[in-house]
């Protein structure tokens, strides 16, 4: 047992001596077998020379192919290849020696039939020795360390490679109980001796067997099916892990360290989006593209997506210098220096933005800069007005003035029937872009709306993850609150697709899937961390925050949708906007933003957006005044 713990390896010369011992046994046995255990005197006289010749040639080929260099207990296919080629080479040398001797003395040193028997014995016995040591070592490890019972979902190539990676691992002792697969043709068969069971029997198998870990080794698994598997495992207190895509494997093999816990994002993500690559490339290739808010979650995601389509320059604008610097480093590393250009600036500063348009003359603008946190904007309406409304107006106006081809604005589902200042500010920004489209000289103004983005800065999932790491509690505002979710790459891809298909004036909404109950999300994240709800991590309800909705919407009451060629993108049919009326209101907001009270500013916003009804907010009294 101590030897196992110390993990000592036998010196190479010992392995070589053992191999030569096998070679000696093989040649002698070959003679006895060939002559039915009665070697004639004529052959017996040559036997010492034959054995010496065989051992020398074997030693030479073993040295040449380094058959003794591998760690015996971890022998694999490459080791057996070396043994085979070494055995073949040495046998061929002996056969060649036979031919030479025959021409000299008209007699063979070693009969060819013996060479064949000797080759088969040598190859078989050397391989058998290694397999025996490997099996013996594995059995010793199994009996000396505690086993971790594991089930692998997926009996394909990825599942098999996962099993082999676990078998090779020295630090842990994994016992692969079964493979699970949904393919009927694989059921009840065995993969390297391990039974394959039907996916429909997983629940029953977990209930009857002690399983600590379930490893999902299928990349093409649909989100719904994956959620079912994870839910089944979590119900039986089984830890769930994920095998990375084949593209992330190292030298075609999976490393155990790459097998990670399933993350909540893995369950909420959807099928990869099929983009119209040609259309997007035609719109972006060789163009100067300005991305505002480029250091943020969506902005940086857009930078990564746009870079794939070979623009002339990506102008990355943000006021957050450190994260913007990191985005620039990433772009330079992945797409080459020169493609990205960092611009520090605030969209509220008209002169600064004008200088950027004057110097770089962008041809496409993606506008992602905005304040997005509902409670913070509820306490500071003037900031939402100056950034989300007036800052957007600066970009909208300058895009028209400098002949931008397309202006794509990132909006939010909170702009629909807004109940808070942030949502209302984004709705007003939508209205201004829509109105400007009707009078613009060249620019096409397009708006995209979607819900919460998984993993974005300040979103609920990273907050929950930090709370779990600290031991809880997880704070949820309300037991019934729901939200739509979308991954950052998915959101950015849909923005690109919608932006490029737009002809101007459209508000595109995305298929966000089914809304997710936040409390259910919290419970699942706790379980995925291997903990139990309310025993290890408590969930506390803090109450709805100012301006917060229970349910988000993608369409206002009077809005309908029109389908597009993309199944996940629709056009919202919204009421037309009058540019003179909304421009007048924006000028009023601008003139009063420095001197008026928050209530006075919000009152102007409510006049612009009649459906803006405040909830859980001090501004709800303004709605009562309207009544």
Q: What is the pLDDT of residues 297-319, one digit of tens each?
A: 899 999 998 998 889 999 999 99
CA-based torsion, 320, 322, 327, 331: positive or negative = positive
Statement: the pTM of the whole predicted model exceeds 0.95: no
Of 28, 29, 18, which is closest to residue 52 (Cα–Cα)? 28
Record: fold of 146-262? Rossmann fold (3.40.50)
Is 425 within 8 Å of 385 (Cβ atoms)?
A: yes
How big is the chain, counted in residues? 627
59 vs 54: CA distance, rounded Å: 8
Of 183, 256, 190, which is closest to residue 225 (Cα–Cα)? 183
Note the pLDDT of residue 571. Answer: 80
Note the pLDDT of residue 542. Answer: 85
Burial of 575 (0-12, 13-18, 19+ CB in 10 A): exposed
Would you tell me how many other CB atoms lie within 10 Å of the CB of residue 260? 11
Q: Which of 414, 426, 436, 606 is catalytic?
A: 414
- 36 phi/psi in degrees, rounded to 5: 55, 45
Of 205, 137, 192, which is closest to residue 169 (Cα–Cα)? 137
Q: Which residues of the chain have pLDDT under 70?
A: 1-10, 42, 70-76, 106-108, 138-145, 169-172, 245-258, 260, 265-266, 269-276, 455-458, 552-561, 625-627
> Which run of H or E residues covers position 407?
strand 406-410
Note the pLDDT of residue 361. Answer: 95
262 vs 292: CA distance, rounded Å: 33
Of 55, 54, 79, which is closest to residue 67 (Cα–Cα)? 79
Note the pLDDT of residue 493. Answer: 82
**Superfamily for the 284-451+491-509+554-620 domain:** NAD(P)-binding Rossmann-like Domain (3.40.50.720)
296 vs 119: CA distance, rounded Å: 67
Note the pLDDT of residue 141. Answer: 59
Q: Write the CB contacts of 205 (distance below 8 Å, at least 6 apart in sequence).
A: 151, 178, 180, 197, 211
Note the pLDDT of residue 603. Answer: 92
pLDDT tens-digit readout, 71-89: 666 666 777 788 888 888 8
pLDDT tens-digit readout, 566-620: 777 888 777 778 888 889 989 998 988 888 899 999 999 998 988 889 888 888 8
95 vs 102: CA distance, rounded Å: 11
Note the pLDDT of residue 255. Answer: 59
List where CATH 3.40.50.720 sits in the chain.
146-262, 284-451+491-509+554-620
CA-based torsion, 407, 411, 417, 418: positive or negative = negative
- 38 phi/psi in degrees, rounded to 5: -140, 85
**5 in catalytic set:** no
Note the pLDDT of residue 171. Answer: 60
């Amino acid at each position: 047992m101590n030897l196992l713990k110390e993990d000592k390896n036998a010196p190479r010369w010992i392995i070589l001596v053992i191999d030569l011992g096998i070679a000696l046994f093989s040649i002698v046995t070959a003679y006895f077998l060939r002559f039915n255990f009665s070697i004639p005197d004529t052959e017996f006289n040559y036997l010492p020379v034959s054995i010496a010749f065989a051992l020398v040639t074997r030693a030479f080929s073993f040295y040449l192919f380094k058959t003794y260099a591998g760690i015996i207990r971890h022998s694999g296919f490459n080791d057996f290849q070396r043994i085979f080629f070494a055995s073949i080479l040495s046998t061929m040398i002996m056969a060649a020696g036979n031919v030479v001797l025959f021409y000299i003395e008209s007699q063979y040193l070693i009969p060819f039939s013996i060479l064949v028997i000797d080759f088969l014995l040598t190859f078989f016995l050397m391989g058998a020795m290694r397999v025996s040591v490997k099996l013996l070592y594995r059995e010793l490890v199994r009996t000396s360390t505690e086993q971790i019972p594991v089930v692998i979902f997926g009996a394909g190539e990825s599942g098999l490679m996962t099993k082999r990676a676990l078998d090779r691992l020295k630090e842990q002792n994994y016992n692969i109980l079964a493979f699970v697969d949904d393919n009927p043709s694989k059921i009840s068969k065995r993969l390297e001796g391990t039974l394959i069971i039907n996916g429909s029997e997983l629940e029953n198998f977990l209930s009857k067997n002690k399983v600590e870990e379930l490893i999902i080794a299928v990349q093409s698994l649909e989100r719904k099916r994956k959620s079912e598997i994870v839910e089944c495992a979590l119900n039986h207190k089984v830890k769930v892990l994920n095998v990375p895509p084949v593209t992330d494997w190292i030298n075609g093999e999976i490393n155990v360290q790459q097998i990670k816990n399933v993350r909540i994002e893995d369950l909420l993500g959807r099928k990869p989006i099929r983009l119209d690559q040609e259309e997007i490339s035609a719109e972006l290739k060789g163009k100067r593209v300005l991305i505002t808010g480029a250091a943020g979650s969506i902005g940086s995601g857009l930078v990564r997506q746009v870079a794939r389509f070979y623009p002339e320059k990506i102008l990355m604008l943000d006021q957050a210098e450190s994260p913007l610097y990191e985005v620039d480093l990433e772009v330079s590393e992945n797409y080459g220096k020169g493609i990205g250009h960092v611009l520090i600036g605030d969209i509220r500063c008209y002169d600064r933005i004008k200088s950027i348009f004057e110097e770089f003359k962008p041809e496409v603008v993606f506008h992602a800069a905005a304040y997005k946190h509902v409670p913070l904007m509820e306490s500071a309406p003037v900031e939402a007005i100056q950034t989300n409304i007036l800052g957007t107006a600066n970009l909208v106006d300058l895009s028209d003035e400098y002949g931008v081809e397309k202006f794509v604005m990132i909006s939010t589902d909170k702009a629909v029937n807004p109940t808070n200042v942030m949502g209302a500010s984004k709705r007003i920004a939508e209205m201004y872009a829509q109105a400007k489209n009707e009078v613009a000289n060249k620019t096409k103004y397009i708006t995209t709306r979607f819900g919460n983005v998984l993993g974005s800065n300040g979103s609920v999932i990273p907050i929950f993850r930090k709370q779990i790491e600290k031991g809880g509690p997880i704070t949820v505002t309300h037991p019934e609150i729901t939200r739509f979710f979308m991954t950052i790459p998915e959101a950015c891809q849909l923005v690109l697709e919608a932006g490029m298909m737009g002809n101007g004036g459209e508000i595109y909404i995305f298929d966000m899937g089914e809304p997710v109950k936040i409390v259910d999300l919290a419970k699942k994240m706790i379980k995925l961390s291997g903990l139990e709800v309310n025993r290890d991590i408590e969930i506390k309800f803090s109450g709805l925050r100012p301006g917060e909705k229970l349910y988000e919407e993608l369409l206002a009451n009077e809005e309908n949708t029109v389908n597009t060629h993309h199944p996940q993108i629709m056009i919202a049919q919204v009421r037309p906007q009058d540019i003179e009326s909304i421009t007048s209101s924006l000028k009023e907001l601008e003139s009063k933003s420095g001197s008026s009270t928050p209530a006075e500013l919000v009152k102007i916003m409510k006049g612009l957006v009649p459906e803006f009804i405040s909830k859980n907010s001090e501004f709800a009294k303004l709605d009562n005044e309207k009544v």
